[in-house]
Structure 1
């Protein structure tokens, strides 16, 4: 990845000399992410992954819920953009409700979003044109995220998980 085509070509050929490899062209998939490169920029999504999950659990015809959380409204992001997450791991803490579990997960996603935004901005030297939305289908979690003074439900949650605010 770089701005100078001749340096990129030289690097590819030197790698092909030392290792058994071939040039497959533009990147389309990476670590489960779909990558679409165009004149307007690079767009990353998890559409195939989400569709495969829905197929696996026979939920392709499930009822849709549009409840986006705009990352910019919750975080002070220097470059004004959002990002996606591809993490799959157990949560570090045990919660007593699904709302609190999703609150912690949304915070983890927001942290990863900031990291990925900074990484892509540094690599591409280009800021993301539009915000990235975090989708959450739990109304109580959305209420806790939107209202930082929702003290009775969040007072026992460790302060680091309030980063989403």
Structure 2
């Protein structure tokens, strides 16, 4: 990245592929001319396709999708003629406790899940199910293989689903965090999910098992708040380096009243010494007016899709 006299030039490099962007066309042209003098290069013009990601422009904004990649997955699995599934994963599944036979070709399962992991780049609704399926790479069983094929059947229904980066975004960061307390039946560790929007556009999301066992629902939710606070601070610094100021507090939406009380009220800290570091970390950011936690009801929590398998109505509402 180069900043000079109000002009910003950003170059993304992956092996021998480059994306060149900036706010000054003259600077971009000069840089491309310089590259042509140093290397044998081919200018493909406006970005349309990069590492499996399709880029489509419209008056509304920029749509990032992996339609061709998703259809390749469906074709490789031999499910082009199948009936689409309405949701990626069955609700109230018990995949961690599956006791069926180990499949004969585990490499096929590993390859399929590996391809699905890359598809999460533009499909946040797949993060939870791919996280669950990736837990069984060592010895996948028949139930796991059938669950993976259900994800493929879900892709068949809407392979072009993607991320819309709206052109009229206010460039205000806000996050949604959630946890599924003690969701792993084997380790009783909780699952953290967070979802970050830049204005109305999703830009960052993740599903991850927590490192330690949380002894209460509030503690699990509070650790999710600590995780998303770190990500928001990093994104704020990234925007700043791109010349985008971000002076307003970043809003965090959480569906746990207990976790919000712990964040806003120091009196609660005395009985939460086992999570003292996270308590003080979030509390300091609130005092500095960097973040502003707010409560949202369970039925409007966007991050729900990253921590549990949802039904058709909730899944459709979040993905809309």
CA 1:43–1:138 in structure 2 vs 1: closer, same or farther (change >3 Å)?
closer
Larger relative contact order (Cα-Cα within 8 Å, sequence gap ≥ 6): 1
The structural deviation recorded for 1:130 is: 4.0
Q: What secondary structure does 1:133 align onto? A: strand
Gaps of 5+ in 1: 47-82
Q: Distance in 1 between matches of 2:277 and 2:174?
A: 30
Residue 88 of structure 1 is matched in structure 2 by: 207
Greater strand share, structure number: 2
Question: Which structure would you say has the larger Rg?
Answer: 2
Instruction: Name the Cα RMSD after superposition.
Output: 3.7
Deviates more, 1:152-161 or 1:26-35: 26-35
Q: 1:42 to 1:119 in 2, by over 3 A?
A: same
Task: Give 2:35's aligned residue.
Answer: none
- 1:28 corresponds, among 59, 63, 75, to 63
C-alpha spacing 1:149/1:87, structure 2 compared with 1 (3 Å): same
Q: What is the TM-score with the length of structure 2 in the denominator?
A: 0.33
What CA distance in whole angstroms lies between the structure 2 residues aligned with 1:116 and 1:2? 18
Aligned equivalents of 2:205, 2:55: Cα separation in 1: 26
Matched, 1:140 2:258: yes
Contact 1:37 1:43 in 2 (8 A): no
Q: Does 1:103 align with 2:222?
A: yes
Taking structure 1 as the reference length, the TM-score comes to 0.58
Match of 1:16 among 31, 44, 47: 44
CA distance in 2, matches of 1:6, 1:23: 23
Paired with 1:45 and 1:151, the residues of 2 have a C-alpha distance of 25
Q: Which moved more, 1:149-158 or 1:26-35?
A: 26-35
Q: CA distance change for structure 1 residues 45 and 161 in 2, over 3 Å: closer, same or farther?
A: closer
Looking at structure 2, the residues matched to 134 and 45 of structure 1 have their Cα atoms a distance apart, in angstroms, of 6
The one-character-per-residue Cα deviations of 1:50-90 (angstroms, maximum 9, x if unpaired) are: xxxxxxxxxxxxxxxxxxxxxxxxxxxxxxxxx97512111
